[in-house]
Amino acid sequence: MNKYILILLVITTFLLLFSGCKEVEVPTFGCTDIDSPRANTDVDYHDSSCVYMHVSEFEVTYFEDKNWDFGVLGVEKADLQLLFGDSDMDTTYFTSLQIDNVNPTEVSRFVAHDQFKLKNQVYTWELHNRKGFLSVGETDELMTSGFLNPLDFKNDSVIVMIDSNQTTQIKIRYEIR
């Protein structure tokens, strides 16, 4: 009888130790907002750790070197204005002030005084040559443009874009907060 009790005790102990153990899943926490560069679709619970990209400055690093304007003084350089909006430019989030007679290799910066949050969507940027102060025969013209989704970049607080003709470079500087 003691032998049966001992065997029963061993079997019961074995079953309790090895069959009763279940793997416990530890929930993961993180940011689930797809508009955040920290978004992670693999997390189980949103924990308010999201941060966002807020535009602080635009820069035109260089643009196509050609005679953009014919003014009173002869050939003049471009009078730049930068626009940034949604994919079809129905909504414009940023319109720069105009900078007249810009050298094509001279860096032009535009501060985004009303910083706005970049989202996980396609945006359009346009670089225009506007009529200058003493404009005679000048017309407004679209110099170049491009598209971007900022979350495709996510690097070092700057987004660098080059137009399809490889003649213009635009940078967007942003803050993470």
Q: For the segment 61-71, what is each residue's pLDDT rounded down to a tens digit?
A: 999 988 876 66
DSSP 137: S
Q: Is residue 133 predicted with pLDDT exceeding 60?
A: no
Question: Both 110 and 167 in a single domain?
Answer: yes
Question: Both 17 and 70 in a single domain?
Answer: no
Question: Both 31 and 80 in a single domain?
Answer: no
Q: Is residue 59 predicted with pLDDT exceeding 80?
A: yes
pTM: 0.80
Q: CA-CA distance, 48 to 89, in Å (whole number)?
A: 31
Q: What angle do CA 50, 51, 57 make, to 5 degrees?
A: 160
**What digits encode the pLDDT tens for the residues 42-53?**
999 999 899 999
Give me the pLDDT at residue 76, please: 74
* Bigger pLDDT: 139 vs 125: 125
How large is the average pLDDT for residues 53-66? 95
Give me the pLDDT at residue 8, please: 57
Question: Both 21 and 78 in a single domain?
Answer: no
Q: Is residue 2 predicted with pLDDT exceeding 60?
A: yes
Banded pLDDT at 131 (limits 50, 70, 90): confident
**What digits encode the pLDDT tens for the residues 141-161?**
999 999 999 999 877 799 999
Strand partners, 173: 57, 158
**Residue carrying structure tokens 């170049």:** 144
Question: Both 125 and 75 in a single domain?
Answer: yes
Question: Both 63 and 148 in a single domain?
Answer: yes
Question: Both 113 and 167 in a single domain?
Answer: yes
Give me the pLDDT at residue 156, please: 77
Q: Which domain holds residue 7?
A: 2-46
Give me the pLDDT at residue 23, please: 78
Q: In this structure, what CATH number is given to the domain that contains residue 57?
A: 2.60.40.1110
State the total domains in the chain.
2
Q: CA-CA distance, 85 to 91, in Å (whole number)?
A: 6
**Residue carrying structure tokens 């079953």:** 15
